[in-house]
Amino acid sequence: MLNIGCHISIAKGFFHAGKEARSIGANTFQFFTRNPRGGKAKALDPQDLGKLQQLMVEEDFARIFAHGSYTMNLASNKQETRDFAKNLLKEDLKRVEAITNCYYIFHPGSHVQQGVEQGIKYIIEALNETHDNNQSTPILLEGMSGKGTEIGGNLKELQQIIEGVEHPERLGICLDTCHLYSAGYDIVDRLEDVLEEIHQAVGMNRLKAIHLNDSKTPFHSNKDRHEVLGEGTIGWEAIERIIRHPKLRNLPFNLETPNDLSGYEREIKKLREAWL
């Protein structure tokens, strides 16, 4: 079965989010741990989480994904911003530990003119400092489009982070088709070459999830503008080749396309038909 889902709000609880996912044909979903711009996270309700867990077992759900705030910048040039980000990360990791079969995804951050090396150093420090042996939720670094001074537009940067931390066993990566294409990885005409680069950089076994998005901007534009599947520069045929590829087809895919729920439902249905 194709494991496919989309962004779902947890404002009405986790069980509600799970039911919403199921109602549009999804068997995974992604949620923000708190307001995407930061802010306070709601306390978790164990009973609510228990009901979600039961639903996930009954309905054959794949793992689900907590996504960190966009404002969390572990690589900032300001100590204050880095400390704030570290606290968010620490709190998030503690929270998601209560959710069964959940992975945590975050954007590596921006080095803000200090240079990639310094930024990566800070990210590694933060991951080391927030490590807790009692926690087991896998942490996925998301590959980025490389806009501005963003870290993670190059797979080698993700590799450096993974190889630099004290506990690499807990780290993996999540790749976003829009980001890859914008960053200059030609998943439309050279998918095999890109897969080889992933293999060389971090190893295919580190790739734990894919964000499935089309892109509004041209190849290698280093922009981050998601588009509805089939309506962007990547196109439907390339999307189909990606979800069907033997090395990718069993991964969980999540949509972050500009859609409402019914739009997601249509995309999911079309993807399930194409995957068979």
Which residue in the set 175, 224, 232, 271 belongs to the binding site for Zn ion (CB under 5 A)? 224
User: From the list Fe ion, Zn ion, none, which binds 224 (C-beta under 5 to 8 Å, kind-based)?
Assistant: Zn ion
What is the C-alpha separation between 203 and 196, in angstroms, rounded? 9
Secondary structure tally for the chain: helices H, strands E: 9, 12
Determine contact, residues 174/203, Cβ cutoff 8 Å: no
Give 224 or 267: the residue with its C-beta nearer to Zn ion.
224
State which residue has the least CB distance to Zn ion.
224
Cα 230 from Cα 209, distance rounded (Å): 20
Identify the residue among 142, 157, 214, 224 touching Fe ion (CB under 5 A): 142
List the one residue out of 201, 190, 193 whose CA is nearest residue 162: 201
Q: Which is nearer to Fe ion, 142 or 150 (CB)?
A: 142
Cα(45)–Cα(14) distance, rounded to whole angstroms? Answer: 9
Which pairing describes strands 171-176 and 207-212: parallel, antiparallel, or unpaired? parallel
Q: Name which of 142 and 157 has its Cβ closer to Fe ion.
A: 142
CA distance 244 to 115: 38
Which of Zn ion, Fe ion, none does residue 157 bind to, with CB < 5 to 8 Å depending on kind? none
Q: Which does 267 bind (CB under 5 to 8 A by kind): Fe ion, Zn ion, none?
A: none
Q: Within positions 96 to 155, which residues make up the interface with Zn ion, using CB under 5 A?
A: none
The amino acid present at 140, given as its one-letter code, is L
Residue range at the interface with Zn ion (CB under 5 A); choices 123-131, 134-142, 200-208, 222-230: 222-230
Q: How many CB atoms within 10 Å of residue 3?
A: 21
List the one residue from 211, 212, 217, 267 that touches Fe ion (CB under 5 A). 211
82 makes contact, choosing from Fe ion, Zn ion, none, with CB < 5 to 8 Å by partner type, with none
- Interface with Zn ion: number of residues (CB under 5 A): 1
Rule CB under 5 A: which residues touch Fe ion?
Answer: 142, 176, 211
